[in-house]
Amino acid sequence: MFQVRIHGRGGQGVVTAAEMLSIAAFEEGRHAQAFPSFGSERTGAPVVAFCRIADKEIRLREPIMEPDALIIQDPTLLHQVDVFAGLKKDGYILINTNKTFEQLGLSDFLRDWHPERLCTVSATELGMKHVGRPMPNVPLLGGFAAVSGIIKLESVNKAIRDKFSGKIAEGNIAGAAEAFKIVRAEMKEALSHA
């Protein structure tokens, strides 16, 4: 079972991202379970959503306390919430930022991690560019398909078409594709230094 925890703020589509991740996995014939952290969230407040992906029925209903991967939709949460709580050693981390892990002050904490599993992408900018709204969630899913390899970009596109239609769907598909490309390049770069 592969477990993903998504951290963000109310209004950033955190819950939608987890749902779409589950749809993408479902499209590949896998079992998936997405659920929110059940809060009375409001715009700007820290929000958490979860997604489990497995090859058999998922019965477990506890929150994800030891994720295999983290998607952090808002880097300001790094100082407010213990986003790394329980993260498995060598887990995947994707952060929505135009900074590097080093610039975020995370290098020491993640020193002996696989470098190609630690990626960043300016997903808010990609949301603005492709959809005209500062929504980082869908581009991050494109980036997540790249860094984790757990789902294909085409499956993310199917999930996008399930949730959105018309121009917004097309914009999000373009945003996810660009994020995928950026993260792929970053991984290649990281491996070449390793």
Partner 1 sequence: MLKQCEGSHAVAEAVAMCRPEVICAYPISPQTHIVEGIGEMVKSGELKNCEFINVESEFAAMSVAIGASAGGARSYTATASQGLLFMVEAVYNASGLGLPIVMTVANRAIGAPINIWNDHSDSLSQRDCGWIQLFAETNQEALDLHIQAFKLAEELSLPVMVCMDGFILTHAYERVDMPTQEQVDAYLPPYEPRQVLDPAEPVSIGAMVGPEAFMEVRYLAHAKQMQALERIPQLAEEFKVCFGRDSGGLTHTYMTDDAETIIIAMGSVLGTIKDTVDVMREAGHKIGVLGITSYRPFPLAAVREALKNCKRFVVLEKSLAVGIGGIVATDVRMAVTGMGLKGYTVVAGLGGRAITMKSLTAMLEKAGRDELDLVTFLDLDWKVVNKQLAREKEVRRSGPAAEAMLRDIGAVAARNY
Residues that bind partner 1 (CB under 8 A): 15, 18-19, 22-23, 26-27, 31-40, 45-46, 48, 58-65, 85
Work out the burial of residue 174: count CB atoms within 10 Å of its CB; fewer than 13 is exposed, 13-18 middle, 19 or more buried. Answer: middle
Cβ distance to partner 1 smaller for residue 1 or 191: 1
What's the rounded Cα separation, in Å, for the pair 132 and 148?
Answer: 27
> How many Cβ atoms sit within 10 Å of the Cβ of residue 121?
27
Nearest in space to 124 (alpha carbons), one of 46, 192, 72: 72
Q: How far is the CB of 2 from partner 1 (least distance, A)?
A: 15
Strand 46-54 to 118-121 pairing: unpaired
Task: Please report how close the Cβ of residue 4 comes to partner 1 at its closest, in angstroms.
Answer: 13
* Residue 51 or 135 with smaller CB distance to partner 1: 51
* Distance (Å) of CA 178 to CA 124, 145, 184: 12, 12, 10
Question: 120 forms bridges with which residues in the sheet?
Answer: 95
Is the CB of 37 or the CB of 172 nearer to partner 1? 37
Report in angstroms how near the CB of residue 15 gets to partner 1 at its nearest. Answer: 8
* C-alpha distances out from residue 25 to 150, 153, 157, 160, Å: 8, 11, 11, 12
Place of tokens 């749902």: 19
